[in-house]
Structure 1
Amino acid sequence: MTQTYTTQMDAARKGIITPQMREVLANEVISEQLLLERVAQGRIAIPANKHHHNLKAAGVGQGLKTKINVNLGVSKDVCSFEGEMNKARLSLKYKADAIMDLSVSGDTEGFRKRLVAEVPVMIGTVPIYDTITRTGKPTEQITVEDWFETVRIHAENGIDFITIHAGLNQKCASSLRLNKRLCGIVSRGGAILYEWMAKTGQENPFYEYFDRLLDICEQHDVCISLGDGLRPGAIKDSTDAPQIEELITLGELTKRAWAHNVQVMIEGPGHVPLHEVEMNMKLQKKLCHHAPFYVLGPLVTDIAPGYDHITSAIGGALAAMHGADFLCYVTPAEHLRLPSADDVKEGIIASKIAAHAGDLAKGIPGAADLDHAMSAARGSLNWEGQFNLALDPEKARAYRASSEPADKGVCTMCGDFCSMKRLKGLL
């Protein structure tokens, strides 16, 4: 008899291997039993909306490769949906694991539907943004029904995971007022909800009516990415009382979601100095019961506009090493403008380097295989082999082609002094 299930978590708890789980098993070194156990426990999430029919599912969580996400979407000032589709195609070319649509202008639903129809990786959104765009209302005039109607629309559109800032409740808001920050609230979703709460005097609707949110997510198998509305946006604000207060609340909401068979990821900071990255990872895992951790960076310094893909990659590698499961890329345009296609590529490559470095440190099975193959190609001066193994083969080829050596077997850095050439056959 065919067993039925509502969500990937529900299936795992019933011992059912879903088609999405089989796709995860095909791309990871993990047993069926361990995958079932960790999905059932909430330590692995497989975001897979029932309406995203062309999805090639991926797992996020304990024992799996660190995944990376690409943010894209239009703004009022730069509103080209075709340009954003080109960024989506670029993301697939460079093997991003997820795409988040953060569009805040124009036909957002039409664009979401196009993404779901054309993009086979998991797709996320932030319904809080879209509520303002969809309704056209001033923030204080938005109703509880408006907030939840947007969530329902996104779920029916086929979105695999939604960021919901449900932990920024009135208690956390009070903590923020008592503990002044250098940069206040930098989360757009967090700022919108804080403004709504301040102007209406009401509790965060996603906190107050969390079970209503769970009902929608369970019906469509949408993973909730519990947003960190109070993430630090400055090194000085890192790991402060409001951030930790919200994290404690997110841990409580995680248990409630799991009781409804709804999968959860936890979003994390933000701007964090190097010496606090490990502590932040361990705090999240402890307070949120080892739910998958989705890290926005973290950026380890505030002084590098134009190079924040690098500050993010440094923090991301350390975060992944200490348990982060999912890295949100940061582009060189962060804090400055809507990223261009070139910015997107730079952000993807930097984030993939960070994720892979973290996997090497975590000892993810098979993670070092490509490194060993690259080393073997370098040791034998196999240039074509090196290009084929590179994260960005086109850039590697272009660099070599731009400076051709007289001896085609070496490069113009060392030439006849090449150690590999001199010791060939001697070791």
Structure 2
Amino acid sequence: IAEACGSRRVRYRVTAHQPPAAESIAGSTAASVFEAARAALLPEGYPGSVRPEYLRFQVYDTIQAACSYLRAILSTGAILKASGVGEAAASPMAAAVAWVLRDGFGMCGSLLFASLVGVGFDENVKEWRLFADLINDVGLTLNMLAPMAGERFFLVAALGSTCTSICGMVAGATRASITAHFALSGNLADVSAKEGAQETAVTLVGLLVGSYLFAPLVGESAPAVWTAFALLTALHVYANWQGVGCLALLWLNRHRAVLASRDWAASAAPPSDAPPEALSPAALSRLERPWGPFLSSLQGPRLGARLPHLCASAEDVCALRDAFAGERYWLRLDPAGRAHVMLSAAADGEDALRALLHSALCAGASGGAAGSGGAVPLLAAERRAIEQSRARAEAAWPKFSSALLEAGWEAAALRNPPLGWRFTCE
């Protein structure tokens, strides 16, 4: 009988009427050390207990964390030097008060930012994760520039502290969603704990490298300090771009839903006879761009439009009500072909996705909606076009939703339906 636990191997010789006796034990010291490190830093059951892109993301995350730690040494040194640390004439109390006020402004800024955009963290996790690291770059750069600001030192330092505080808040919020995505077998706590262990390990390595290699190498030379800071910032941006880009999230936000519905509608268009397939999460992740949600909000289907955007008269209201009877959304195109969608108060994520599919099937058409009110009256030809497109969307929905589930998406619905204007028919 042979037993194994990681790199440890034990073979037992079983003899009649005798207790099992260990015959041999295999496993080198190096293998044992590797196994101990693996157990401390990787989730139990790796790689089967996490998503396929877990290791790649963590490698890039480790690189960016190390870059941030080393740059923090440089920026903190610049702030301390500008505060008078090390100078005989400097007042310790004045430096301490300035430091506390700087941190206080940073905390207030992060609270204000969270109150303004907190809802968007769940919808656009990848984009906000990248934003967090970029705003951290801005904050560290401001800290480096603060000593050169003269009388405006405190203002620049406070802005830098605000940026780094916003980074910590946004990174923590998005990290929760990313960790939940990686936890494949109900091991959210284990994955979170191992990420904390990885951060601790990176901090310890950064402490040693920064104290004994990096700081003496850079020294007090301003050109050397700025060169090192610029190189680390470039590496930090690259690592974050690659890390966020490899994430294949399994839920649909508005941007991913627009990409998926447009691709499926194009595949389903004549002369194609084959059953169209939906983009998988991995395939769609390669099409995503950090600025995609912003462009979708400006150019893509407009979810949460208001009545004046779609209807010019009571007759238009009745026509749309009849055309979309049984649906929880109304849709009309503007002259540029952009869909404007009114969602009912009862509409959920599935209804929002149905509206996006409907808008994708209307590609190339146009109508009389208006983005800022003043819609053109709904004529008979446009009404017939709306009724025909609604019938196509209704017939296509079962195929589209099935294709999404077969492609690996967790649900055929938007995970976070928009919270804007909703309508009810009284």
Give me the TM-score of the superposition, normalised by structure 2. 0.22
Higher helix share: 2
Give me the TM-score of the superposition, normalised by structure 1. 0.22
Bigger radius of gyration, 1 or 2? 2
